[in-house]
């Protein structure tokens, strides 16, 4: 009898926890709007210019891309062209499908 009562108690307690968890999961987005309002109220943080060892740093833009100084970008582009030409010349020296599609260490492709 005691075992039966203990089992019932455990079952009721378990059921209560499950109901609480379910309620929390399906609660309407009332909190979401409040959270958004709270987030809007936060002051906008700006990225402070880094001045430690280097003058220019790569800062993620709003679309998530990393902005590279244009001079660095042009150097990367030159390097990419040289590597691609070298890869194409390797293919011309020995035309195989593997060499035609060989990978380079170009920063644009890695």
The residue ranges that bind other proteins (CB under 8 A) are 70, 73-74, 77-78, 81-82, 84-85, 87-89, 91-92, 100-101, 109
Least distance between other proteins and beta carbon 87 (Å): 7
Least distance between other proteins and beta carbon 80 (Å): 10
Cβ closest to other proteins, residue 27 vs residue 82: 82
In angstroms, the CA 76 to CA 8 distance is: 71
In angstroms, the CA 60 to CA 74 distance is: 19
Least distance between other proteins and beta carbon 31 (Å): 37
In angstroms, the CA 96 to CA 18 distance is: 63
Rounded to 10 degrees, the C-alpha dihedral 27/30/32/38 comes to: -140
Cβ closest to other proteins, residue 38 vs residue 78: 78
Query: What backbone torsions phi and psi does residue 4 show, to the nearest 5 degrees?
Result: -65, -45
Cβ closest to other proteins, residue 34 vs residue 100: 100
């Amino acid at each position: 009898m005691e075992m039966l009562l203990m089992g019932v108690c455990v079952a009721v307690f378990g059921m209560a926890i499950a109901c609480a968890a379910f309620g929390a999961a399906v609660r309407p987005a009332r909190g979401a709007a409040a959270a958004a309002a709270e987030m809007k109220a936060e002051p906008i943080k700006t990225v402070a210019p880094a001045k430690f060892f280097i003058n220019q740093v790569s800062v993620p833009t709003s679309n998530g891309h990393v902005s590279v100084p244009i001079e660095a970008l042009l150097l990367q582009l030159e390097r990419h062209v040289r590597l691609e030409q070298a890869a194409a010349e390797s293919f011309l020296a020995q035309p195989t499908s593997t060499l035609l599609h060989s990978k380079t260490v170009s920063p644009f492709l890695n």
